[in-house]
Every structure is written in C-alpha cells, then in structure tokens.
A and B are shown apart, each in its own frame.
Chain A
Amino acid sequence: MTTVTWDREPATPRGPGTFLSVRDLSVEFSTEDGVVHAVDALSFDLQKGTTLGIVGESGSGKSVSNLAILGLHDPTQTKLGGEIWLEDQDLLRASRSTMEKLRGNRIAMIFQDPLTSLSPYHTVGRQISEVYRKHKGASRAEARARAVEMLERVGIPHARTRVDDYPHQFSGGMRQRVMIAMALVCDPDLIIADEPTTALDVTVQAQILDLLKDLQQQFGTSIILITHDLGVVANTAHNVLVMYAGRAVEQGTTHEVLREPRHPYTWGLLGSMPKLSSNVDLPLLPVRGTPPSLLSPPPGCPFHPRCDHRQLVGSDVCATERPELSPAEGHRDACYLTLAQKREIFDGKIKELL
C-alpha cells in the first residue's frame, strides 16, 4: 500500500508564479535486502513556462522523484513522504481517479526509450488519439484528426498516412517525436521528460531538444528535463538541480550551476565530461569511487567518501552531520566548505579542467 506520512501540517512556502512545488519529498522502496532510500528530503519549485534540468548519476533518484509526481511508482513497495503541490492540489494525497485525470492531460511524461515505451501492438495514431479521447471526450474522428495534427506539429512527414503505422515502422528519432506528440496532445501544463534524448544520436538529439524548446515558447509549457548529460541541460534548462544519492546537492540557474559550480560533486560531474577541444591523450577525470548504496546511505554528507576536499572543512562534520542547502534562496548548495574556499578551489583547480 502507498503510505503517505503526514509529519507536519502542509505548509506551502511557494513564491508567486510557482506552478509545481515539491517539498521534502522522500521515496523509499522496501526490497528483499532492506529499505532503499531512493529520494530523501527533496524540494524544488518550478515556474510556469520554464525548464528545470535535473542532473545526476544513474540511481541518484532523478527518475524516481518524477515518477512520484505522476504517482507511477509501484504502490505495493513504495513509501512516499512530503508534499507535491501542483497549484493548489497535493498530488501525493490525491485520489487515484484525480491522478488518472491529471496524467496525460495536465502532466505528461516523455520516456527515455521510445521503442519500449510505445505499445508495439497499437498504431501510433491510436496511441495518441486515445489520450485525447480519454481526457477531452473527443469522438473517434476528432481524436484521429488531432493525432494527425500533432504528428505534423512534431515534424513527422506524411502524417496523414503515417498515423496508421506501428511504432516499429518509425526510426528512433521519429519514434521520440511520436512520444512527444502523445505527451502534447492534451496541451499539458507540465511535461516531465526523462532522458528524452539519451537513446538518440546527436543530430536527432538536437532536433528533439529544439522541438521541445519551440513548443515551450509557443504554449508556455513547464518542463522538467531529467538527464545525465550536462550539455543537454546547458542548452535547454533555465534552472538546474543536481542530485546525488537521492538528495539535492546544488541548485541554481543554469548559468550559475554550470559556470560557477560550488559543490564538489558538481565539479566532478563537469570534470568527467569529454570535451571536443581537449587533447586526445588527456584522460577523462571520473568522480573517484562509486555511488553509495541507497540501502544504507553514508551518514553526514552522502558524497563525503568520494570527496577530495573534505579535509579543508577541518572537523569531521562531513561524515557525521548532513549539510543543508544554503543559502535559503538563489544559487544554493549542500556543502560545509565556505563560499570563499569553494571559489578558491574552483578558480584554482577545477576551472582549467572544464
């Protein structure tokens, strides 16, 4: 059963224009080996018409937290805590039928692998139009016309005939366009795109990202873009959230996080990105060590076992006490190094690697 813990009265400190507000979200899975703390005290806000990029390694809780927004977690094994406010509705406590009416209608999701994510047994036209019929009560003919319109909008040539094709008859990029058409068919307010370009080659990737950007400008859609590709984020997101071991470790505008990153993990992520301009013989710099097991995350800062800079903090606080995001507003990160130290390390050692 889904158990939602009410640890306190729903306080909703939300700024004006905030459309989606996630507060203290926690997601735990019970498995045979124990409880996996997939997401821990995650909070973020999303403004209308903007894009939030969520980055982090595999297993950092990016996808899980967004599946929770849609209520797509496995209810038999998952325990959720915190609040997810979509305008004035708490999605974690919404009824099943409320969620069914929201999904695909106000909130739509684009998945990573369009081949496995589209039903192989139904034509793309049917898969798109059934969303429209379900949420808008359209007739079969109206929904079909809408499906053709959507396919045209996402740039699929000969949409009128291709609407009757099956997903396996499309190329990878075209399939992802179908997926996007399906997500957009009800003009959603929020699109959650979970690694939408990871399975595509680079040229197609750029097309898809441009398409999402265009659609956002036209319709004012908010987008959550989950990715591990910082290049994608730099290109499309207004704000960035860096996640590590189920927690937010750095948050800010894209410019702030990518140009003046403050958290050692963000440095690691940026440093491990291959660069076209760099010398072929220079090895890439992966983040030392391996991601922690979420069955028993390390105490204190979850990144401390892999951190190269913790001795600068002086005390043992990194290993004992969990750092909170600070400052309260703007560009924030969860690290005990002082702002001056971070700036010094970044300017001195990290910047040259990027």
Chain B
Amino acid sequence: MFRFFVRRLIGAAVIMLIISAVTFFLFYAIPRDPARAFCGKICSPTNLELIRHNLGMDDPLFVQYWHWLTGIFTGRDLVQFGACAAPCLGYSFATQEPVFAAILDRFPVTVSVTLGAAVVILSFGIVTGMIAAWQQGKPLDKIASTSSVIGASLQIYFVGPLVVFFVVDSMGLLPRPSYIPFTEDPLGWFVHLLIPWFVLSIIFTANYTRMTRSVMVEQLAEDYVRTARAKGMSSRTVFLRFAWRGAMIPIVTIFGVDLATLLGGAIITEQTFTLHGIGELAVRAVQNTDLPMLLGVTLVGAFAIVILNIVVDMLYAVIDPRVRLG
C-alpha cells in the first residue's frame, strides 16, 4: 500500500512536470509578446526591454522555466510584482493578481460544479442503465436507450440557456445559477447550482446509461452469475449483488477517463452560466496571453486529474479483491 502511494505520487509529479513544460514551451510558440501588452500603445524599445527584464523574459527559456518551477517550492522575488511566497505560481500578466491566490479563490466554484455533476451523472446514469438492463427489450429499456441517444447529442451551451429561460425566467422554479459558498449557505449553494449540475451532466448521464446497461447485460451472462442463480438466489439479489459488482469495474474505469472531459465540460458550463470558476480564469488567460495564469490553471487541472486517478485505482482494489495495490 505504502509502495503504491510512493510510486503513484512520483508518477504524478513526473506527469505534472511534463505537462507544465509542454505548456510553457508551447506558449512561446504563440507569436505574441506579453511584454508589448504591458508596454502600452506608445512603447519605446528601451521601455520594452526594461519590461522584458522585469518580467524575467530576457533570460533563456530554460532558465525562465527553471525559475518558475523552483518558485513553486521556494517562492521567488519578481522585479515587476515584488515578493511571492511559496507556492508561487507568479502573478497574472493581465490582472496583476497572484496566480495561486486567484486559483485558490475560484477553486471551490469549479469543485462544486464538477463534483455535483459527477454525483448526478453517476446516480442517474447508473440507475437508468440498471433499469434498462433489468427491463431488457421491454418498453422502459427502449425509452431509456432512445433518450440516452438524444441526451448524448445535446450541447451544454445550447441546453444551458434554454433551461435557464424556461426554468428560471418563465416558470421561476429555480434561482438564476450563481455560486454561493457552501460554508455560508448550504441550501443556497445547492439550489443555485442545480441547473449547472444537470446541464453539465446531460451528455455524460446518457453515456453512463448506455454503458451501465451494456455492462450489466454482459455481466448477467457471466458464469458466476449463473452460479448465483443455480444457488437459488432471487433475481433481484443476482442482479444487485452479483452482476452489479462486476459491472462497477468498467464503469469506474471509464469514469476515471471521463474526469478530464468533465473538467473541460465544467469550463464550458462556467462560461455558459457566468460562474466565476477556474474555467473562467483559463479562458481569460488564453485570451490575454497570460502565461503565469495559464500555467497555473493547467497545473491545477492536471493535479486534480492525477490525484483523482489515484483515487480511482484505489477504488479498483476495493471493488475487486483480485487487484492488489503495489
């Protein structure tokens, strides 16, 4: 178990190093000079040079990357912005705010949107998929299968405004989506995020319905499920305790893969409902050629995915006793 963690954490560090390096060097492939943006409309070459120096952009690329990297652990002193304590991800070129603080500030929003949507996806997708598998070939199965195809072909930015228009504007059933910190008002947090959760989960839920159905149908044909029936277990027990146990493994696997897509979906959702989360930071950073912010957001996203994947691997060991972490 301990070895598993050490190995996986080293692996995670390596992955994040590679991702940050790729992002860093790709950034310089963009033919835009952030120093020029700082410099303003009337910009003398000496001024530009000075800003470059203050931003640390006159160093060779590798040195710049090295400064950025070490800054995370030791903090650094930036000529342009002043001292920056560890973990230092630099200051935004665009807004001048410290990147780490900005991300920390927005983090709860994105986590709320993503995790809430994950709960909706898994519970709805799995339940409807199980019903479809249980009712194989019967009307309920067909309804579930058809609606999942429709769901899978919808888009967040299309459904989002539509739902807001009907549910909020016309019927007034729910308040307009916004973020209220959970610690301040749990109920308000819940009610204000319901629409984003459902809209983000629509496409995924449909996929999980179809997948759950097919893996359940597969599991029901397994030898050990037949044995359970041969033992006289009721069809419900066979379905819920035996077949479902085996079906969880592929579902968890796919969910691990989907986490990254879900985070991407959270960005679109935040944009659609103007929630001030990390997604918004990311979009703005790209628009403003804001390297520190872009790197910070990328790193945090990668960190989240890598950690969640470790959690998924641990879940395997819980579900399947044949899997041993080590």
Please give the number of chain B residues whose Cβ is less than 8 angstroms from any Cβ of chain A in the complex: 22
Q: Are A120 and B232 in contact (CB under 8 A)?
A: no
Q: Report the minimum CB–CB distance from B92 to chain A (whole Å).
A: 50
Q: Are A102 and B232 in contact (CB under 8 A)?
A: yes
Q: Are B231 and A119 in contact (CB under 8 A)?
A: no
Is the C-beta of B223 less than 8 angstroms from some C-beta in chain A?
A: yes
Q: Are B231 and A182 in contact (CB under 8 A)?
A: yes
Q: Report the minimum CB–CB distance from A296 to chain B (whole Å).
A: 26
A121 with B319, Cβ < 8 A, contacts A76-B136, A113-B223 known: yes
CA distance A51 to B170 in the complex (A): 75
Residues facing A in B13-60 (CB within 8 A) are: none
Q: Are B227 and A118 in contact (CB under 8 A)?
A: yes
CA distance A130 to B242 in the complex (A): 12
Question: What is the 8 Å Cβ interface bit string for chain A, positions 70-111, against chain B (1 contact, 0 not)?
Answer: 101000100000000000000000001000111111001101
Q: Are B232 and A119 in contact (CB under 8 A)?
A: no
| A135 CB contacts on chain B under 8 angstroms | 232
Q: Are A121 and B230 in contact (CB under 8 A)?
A: no
A117 with B232, Cβ < 8 A, contacts A166-B321, A168-B322 known: no
Q: Report the minimum CB–CB distance from B223 to chain A (whole Å).
A: 4
Is the C-beta of A203 less than 8 angstroms from some C-beta in chain B?
A: no
Which single member of A101, A109, A122, A134 contacts B230 (CB below 8 Å)? A109
Is the C-beta of A269 less than 8 angstroms from some C-beta in chain B?
A: no
A117 with B231, Cβ < 8 A, contacts A166-B321, A168-B321 known: no
CA distance A199 to B79 in the complex (A): 74
CA distance A254 to B246 in the complex (A): 42
Q: Are B227 and A119 in contact (CB under 8 A)?
A: yes
Is the C-beta of A301 less than 8 angstroms from some C-beta in chain B?
A: no
A134 with B233, Cβ < 8 A, contacts A113-B223, A117-B223 known: yes
Is the C-beta of B229 less than 8 angstroms from some C-beta in chain A?
A: yes
Q: Are A134 and B227 in contact (CB under 8 A)?
A: no
Q: Report the minimum CB–CB distance from A184 to chain B (whole Å).
A: 12
Residues facing A in B135-162 (CB within 8 A) are: 136-137
Which single member of B223, B231, B319 contacts A131 (CB below 8 Å)? B231
Which single member of B136, B230, B242, B319 contacts A119 (CB below 8 Å)? B242
CA distance A134 to B234 in the complex (A): 9
Q: Are B232 and A103 in contact (CB under 8 A)?
A: yes
Nearest B-chain residue to A103, judged by Cβ: B232
| A100 CB contacts on chain B under 8 angstroms | 232-234
Which single member of B137, B231, B242, B319 contacts A104 (CB below 8 Å)? B231
Which single member of A108, A121, A131, A182 contacts B320 (CB below 8 Å)? A121
Question: Beyond A70-B230, A108-B231: 20 further Cβ-contacts under 8 Å?
Answer: A72-B226, A72-B229, A100-B233, A103-B229, A103-B232, A105-B232, A108-B230, A109-B227, A111-B227, A116-B223, A117-B223, A119-B227, A121-B319, A122-B245, A130-B231, A131-B232, A134-B232, A166-B321, A166-B322, A168-B322
What 3 A-B pairs are tightest by C-beta distance, nearest first? A104-B232, A104-B231, A103-B232
